[in-house]
Amino acid sequence: MTIFPLKISFSAYSENYSSIMSELGFLNKFSKNAGPPSNGGEQAFFSSRLSATNKNSCSSCHNPKSAWSAISPLSFAFNHINQRSTPSLFHSKEVDYLFWDGRAASLEAQVMEVIENGNEMDSSRIMAAKYALEPARKVPNYCNVSSQLAHKIQKIPNSELSSSKYKNIYNSFSLPEKNEIDKSFACVAHEISIFIRKIPYPDNIWSNAVSTNDFSAIESNNMALSGAKLFVGKAGCSVCHYGLYLSDGQFHNIGIGDIKNQDISDPGRFQALKEMEENPYNILANRFYPEYVKKIKFNISEESWGAFRTPSLLQVRLKSAYMHNGKFRNLYEVVHYYNTLSGSVIPPHHYTGVLKPLKLTSLEEKQLVEFLNTL
């Protein structure tokens, strides 16, 4: 099974806690507060007024009480169950590419796509421009279209501004008017992105220990401490899950097949790489906020088939589903999969990589889960 080359080697750590922290990549003091977020972006994130039906908001799928992911196992919107689970937003400011497959080259591009995705917000750029004009909205005035255009779009019923209906209306506007709408759309997305980038780091016994140099909470949890040693040692989890957000931000195929274990039908990163350069939301983000947009042109290899981004493990205990397709419903199932690779799928164009059965004991599996529960 192809995963990726080993990037680091595990040094022999002592019982000293700072050594374990070093292996985990917890090398710096934790910033518990990332600063004041955008008021307009926060309001928009939690507001259903951005959706054409007034039913969904960003927080419908990214709930702060569920590690900024969905409460349901798979993301659900407008009577449609998506085929991928909702990733956490915790390390969105740290990664270059968003969504499980990394097709968005900036947070701005991701937010715009979600707004216009019929299976998510089911809204439109006109709806976003209309939202920005509402007196109660806190988005900056520079997000607003001109008063003449505002008069036009405020007359359009919201029911005509869903993702499936708005295009004919949008195409009826002049080119300068379209540019105004696009700018307002991107501006609202940028405000939401500012809010997401400033989601504060969550408290846990590890971040508190680094910040205060008080390891008493760790000392009192022998199971979690043993799990941490496994995480950076025998289990090798920290090859991909390291740093403050416990993610390398890269894309790997770890053999997670479809729900019935028959195949890997979701191309993941492979398809994203093919489409990134022509992705209209990457293009739009690059037009108005180029400083946030990462590289969008790549050489494509079959090795990227079925590869998905390494998720953050912060508050992983709060998630309702695990893996890109929500295949596992609890952390015991996740750890047992890595331990045994039972049900893993190896695409024919992949070579055998470094992921091997861990051969952990039952107790070690429990210790690893206990560590994950403390994050």
pLDDT band at 182 (very low <50, low <70, confident <90, very high): very high
pTM of the full structure: 0.88
pLDDT band at 5 (very low <50, low <70, confident <90, very high): very low
pLDDT above 90 covers what percent of the chain?
55
3-state secondary structure of 87: coil
Instruction: Decide if pLDDT at 177 tops 70.
Output: yes
On average, the pLDDT of the chain sits at: 85
Cβ distance 50 to 131 under 8 Å? yes
Q: Identify the pLDDT of residue 78.
A: 47
Look up the CATH superfamily of 17-30+202-268+306-373: Cytochrome c-like domain (1.10.760.10)
> How many other CB atoms sit within 10 Å of the CB of residue 223?
16
The segment with the largest mean pLDDT, out of 51-60, 197-206, 334-343, is 334-343
pLDDT band at 196 (very low <50, low <70, confident <90, very high): very high
Q: What is the mean pLDDT of residues 190-210?
A: 89
pLDDT band at 174 (very low <50, low <70, confident <90, very high): very high
Residue tagged 């917000």 (tokens): 121
What amino acid is encoded at 375 in this protein? L
pLDDT band at 12 (very low <50, low <70, confident <90, very high): very low
Q: Identify the pLDDT of residue 347.
A: 63
Q: Identify the pLDDT of residue 338.
A: 94
Q: Identify the pLDDT of residue 7.
A: 34
Q: Identify the pLDDT of residue 133.
A: 95
Instruction: Decide if pLDDT at 84 tops 80.
Output: yes
pLDDT band at 101 (very low <50, low <70, confident <90, very high): very high
Residue of 16 and 319 predicted with greater confidence: 319
Nearest to 324 by CA among 309, 336, 313: 309
Q: What is the per-residue DSSP string for 7-55?
A: --------S-HHHHHHHHT--S---S---PPPHHHHHHHH-GGGSTTS-
Cα–Cα dist 80/103, whole Å: 21
For 287-291, 305-309, 343-347, 367-371, which range has the lowest pLDDT when averaged over its residues? 343-347
Q: What is the mean pLDDT of residues 20-44?
A: 69
Residue of 262 and 32 predicted with greater confidence: 262
pLDDT band at 147 (very low <50, low <70, confident <90, very high): very high
Q: Identify the pLDDT of residue 45.
A: 93
Instruction: Decide if pLDDT at 192 tops 90.
Output: yes
Which run of H or E residues covers position 107? helix 107-116
3-state secondary structure of 205: helix
Which residues does 360 contact at the CB level (< 8 Å), separation at least 6?
230, 234, 235, 335, 339, 368
Instruction: Decide if pLDDT at 19 tops 80.
Output: no
Residue of 127 and 86 predicted with greater confidence: 127
Q: Identify the pLDDT of residue 68.
A: 87
- The structural architecture, per CATH, of the domain 39-197 is Orthogonal Bundle (1.10)
DSSP strand pairing (251-252 vs 308-309)? antiparallel
Q: Identify the pLDDT of residue 69.
A: 83
Structure-derived torsion over alpha carbons of residues 263, 266, 270, 271, reported in degrees to the nearest 10: 140
Instruction: Decide if pLDDT at 263 tops 60.
Output: yes
* CATH 1.10.760.10 domain position(s) in the chain: 17-30+202-268+306-373, 39-197
Q: What is the mean pLDDT of residues 249-262?
A: 82
